[in-house]
C-alpha cells in the first residue's frame, strides 16, 4: 500500500509540475518584452478639402482648403487583454493642439482666410478606426472678390482694397482610419461635419455649416 501511495504521489507530481513550469515560462518574459504602441512620439500633418454649405434654393457649396499640424500634448493609452500577454489591444487617447490655416472661396462675394489654433481630442481604437472632436477659436479675414470703390471728397471714386476682420468660433467631429496604427503606413484619412460662427457681420454672429475631407501624414517614433 505504501508503494502504491508513493507511485500515486509521484504520478500526480509529474502532472502538476509541468503545468506550473509552463505557466512560469509564459510569464517569464512578460516584464522584459514590452508591447509596441504604449510609449511613442506622434505628430500629425493634415491637408483637408472644405465645403461650406449654404442652405438656399438650390443648395450652394463654397469650396476651400486647410492645412494643420497636430502637436500632441497628452497621451493616455487604454490597454485591454489580447490573444496573449505580449499582444495587448491598445486604444490611444490623445489631446492635440492643431494650428490650422485655410481659406474658403465664395464666388462673386469674398474669399475668407483664417487661422485657428484648434484643441482636439482623438480616440483611436486598436483596429485603427478613430473619432476626433475639435473645439476652436480663431481669426478670419474676408476679402471682397469684386472691385470696391470709395467716394472721395471731390465726388470722384477710388478703387480700394476692402475686407472684414472677424472672430470665428466653432468645432467639428470627424471619423476616419489611421493606417499607421497596425499597417505601419504613415497615412490617415478622415471625414466629418463642422460648424463655425463669425463676428461681426451686420453686427451679429453668422453661422456656417461645412464638411471636411482630409488626409494626414502621421509621424510615429517609438520611445526607448
pLDDT in tens, 76-123: 998 887 666 666 788 999 999 999 999 999 987 889 999 999 999 999
Q: Does residue 29 register a pLDDT over 60?
A: no
Q: How many CB atoms lie within 10 A of CB 3?
A: 7
Residue for cell digits 475668407? 112
Share of the chain above pLDDT 90, in %: 52
C-alpha to C-alpha distance for 122 and 2, rounded to whole angstroms: 68
Torsion angle (degrees, nearest 10) of CA 34, 37, 43, 46: 160
Instruction: Kindly list the distances between the CA atom of residue 10 and the CA atoms of 15, 19, 22, 24, 122, in Å, as whole numbers in the listed order.
Output: 9, 15, 19, 21, 58
Per-residue pLDDT reduced to its tens digit, 161-220: 778 899 999 999 999 999 998 888 999 999 999 999 999 876 788 899 999 999 999 998
215 three-state secondary structure: strand
Q: How far is CA 17 from CA 21, 29, 159, in A?
A: 6, 20, 94
What is the residue-averaged pLDDT of the chain?
84
Give CA–CA dist 224/220, Å, rounded: 13
Of 10-19, 32-41, 63-72, the one with minimum mean pLDDT is 10-19
The whole-number pLDDT of residue 6 equals 58
Q: What is the mean pLDDT of residues 14-37?
A: 50
CA gap 169, 198 in Å, rounded = 7
pTM over 0.85: no
Amino acid at each position: 500500500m505504501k508503494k502504491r501511495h508513493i507511485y500515486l504521489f509521484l504520478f500526480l507530481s509529474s502532472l502538476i509540475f509541468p503545468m506550473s513550469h509552463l505557466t512560469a515560462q509564459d510569464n517569464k518574459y512578460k516584464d522584459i518584452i514590452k508591447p509596441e504602441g504604449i510609449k511613442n512620439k506622434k505628430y500629425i500633418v493634415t491637408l483637408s478639402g472644405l465645403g461650406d454649405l449654404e442652405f438656399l434654393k438650390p443648395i450652394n457649396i463654397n469650396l476651400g482648403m486647410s492645412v494643420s499640424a497636430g502637436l500632441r500634448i497628452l497621451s493616455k493609452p487604454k490597454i485591454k487583454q489580447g490573444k496573449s500577454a505580449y499582444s495587448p489591444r491598445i486604444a490611444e487617447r490623445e489631446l492635440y493642439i492643431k494650428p490650422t490655416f485655410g481659406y474658403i472661396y465664395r464666388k462673386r462675394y469674398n474669399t475668407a482666410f483664417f487661422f485657428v489654433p484648434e484643441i482636439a481630442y482623438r480616440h483611436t481604437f486598436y483596429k485603427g478606426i478613430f473619432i476626433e472632436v475639435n473645439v476652436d477659436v480663431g481669426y478670419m479675414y474676408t476679402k471682397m472678390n469684386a472691385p470696391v470703390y470709395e467716394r472721395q471728397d471731390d465726388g470722384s471714386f477710388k478703387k480700394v482694397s476692402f475686407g472684414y476682420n472677424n472672430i470665428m468660433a466653432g468645432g467639428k467631429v470627424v471619423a476616419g482610419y489611421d493606417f499607421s496604427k497596425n499597417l505601419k503606413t504613415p497615412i490617415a484619412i478622415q471625414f466629418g461635419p463642422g460648424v463655425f460662427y463669425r463676428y461681426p457681420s451686420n453686427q451679429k454672429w453668422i453661422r456656417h455649416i461645412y464638411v471636411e475631407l482630409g488626409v494626414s501624414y502621421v509621424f510615429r517614433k517609438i520611445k526607448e
